[in-house]
Structure 1
Amino acid sequence: MRLENLGIEDTVMDLKPLDHIMGKHAFIRAGQWDYERVTYDYKIGSKEKNITYYIRIQGYAIEGDVDRGNAVIKLLTPLLGKHYYPHGVEYGEEENFPENLVERANKIVAKVKDELSNYEK
């Protein structure tokens, strides 16, 4: 599910402060990057058996190189996904997400956006 109109999409900023702010808000990049792209995930536990939700924020380098740490990243529209153990994460529009979860995800992304605004290019 796309979390649209939160103002985070199209944010452009340097990788190092982006990594710092995302980590501060519990978004993990870990090994989810290549030379041109980054992916940050925020894990949300669930009472449903074998179900975990994730907020995923992706971006791509418009300048520089992620590996070298000198990239300037442009963020994409955040996604809300549902992980089915052991099959993987589904982000499709046909997925059903509890309304309170969607509201929580929107608030989490809004907090990140507020802080990112101080560092935008």
Structure 2
Amino acid sequence: MIIEDVEVKGLVSELAYLDEVTTKLGFVRWQWEYTRATYDFKIEEKADNADYYLRVNTRSTQGRLESPYAILIIEDAYIGKATFPHGLDYDSPIPEHILKLCRHKLFELQRELSDAKLVKEIMTKDFITATLQDSLHDIATKMKDHNIGFIPVVEGRILLGVITDRDLAIRGYAEHQDEAVTVEKVLSKDVRTILPTETVEVAAQIMAKEQIRRLPVVLNGELLGIVTLGDMATHKGYEITVGEALAQISLPL
């Protein structure tokens, strides 16, 4: 049977974070397509020597499940009775105390996913950008005037790439590029981004893994903001998260 009226339905999470949360709550993930996965929670009922499974269905809305960065949306949650060798019987009557336990477990999952602060809540919305027509001199001037070393390159609001002070030094001046050369010659196009609906914890995990200190926040190609370790550090409760990310970023590649 489908468990109705649960607020976990429709929540969105990156695969890595959803795996972390569900594992903590006792679920096991099963993957049966490149874009779909289920999370099962086993309930043993000794009174009638039966096993019941709470099954949470998810679907990828971005990326495949080979990637920990795939974005999953939670769909329906089911409760079924295990019937060997046929699998789960969703039509069998479910004892009330089993159903109550399932609702509580779904509430825990909803709380874990909802309580986490989202990237869109802490990201910087006021940021400097560049266009493909800007010259290296323009970029150097912007970095100097605003005391920054990272500038997103956009066309309108669409993110095309980023240019950093490192790009400017290594691909620009170290290769004796003329100051009139445009950004297009030196920008980094392979940019790791994050959705505004991802959690701060996920952002920190990405930064630690990629050894970077900032992430463009992008939705449907549009640049909405930038989230940095500095943004996280200004919010109470993220001191350990920031410290762990910094420790990983400081490790040699």
- TM-score normalised by L of structure 1: 0.89
Report Cα offsets for 1:47-89 as digits up to 9, x if no partner: 223x210000010010111112221001012110100123211
Give the AA of the match of 2:87: G
Give the number of the structure with larger relative contact order, counting CA–CA contacts within 8 Å between residues 6 or more apart.
1
Q: Which of 63, 81, 96 is residue 99 of structure 1 equivalent to? A: 96
Q: Secondary structure at the match of 2:76?
A: coil
Q: Percent identity?
A: 30
Answer 1 or 2: which has greater helix percent.
Answer: 2
Q: Which runs of 5+ in 1 are unaligned?
A: none
Specify every segment of 5 or more residues in structure 2 that has no aligned partner in the other structure, as ranges: 119-196, 198-253
Alignment coverage as a number of residue pairs: 117
Q: Secondary structure at the match of 1:83?
A: strand
Q: How does 1:4-19 map to 2 (within 5 A)?
A: 4-19=4-19
Runs of 4+ in 1 over 2 A off after TM superposition: 31-34
Aligned to 1:66: 65
How many angstroms apart in 2 are the aligned matches of 1:34 and 1:87? Answer: 20
Moved more, 33-42 or 15-24: 33-42
Larger Rg: 2
Are 2:104 and 1:112 aligned? Answer: no
CA contact (8 A) 1:34 1:67 kept: no
**Structure-2-length-normalised TM-score:** 0.44
Q: SS of the counterpart of 1:78?
A: strand
Flag the 1:19–1:33 CA change in 2: closer, same or farther, 3 A: farther
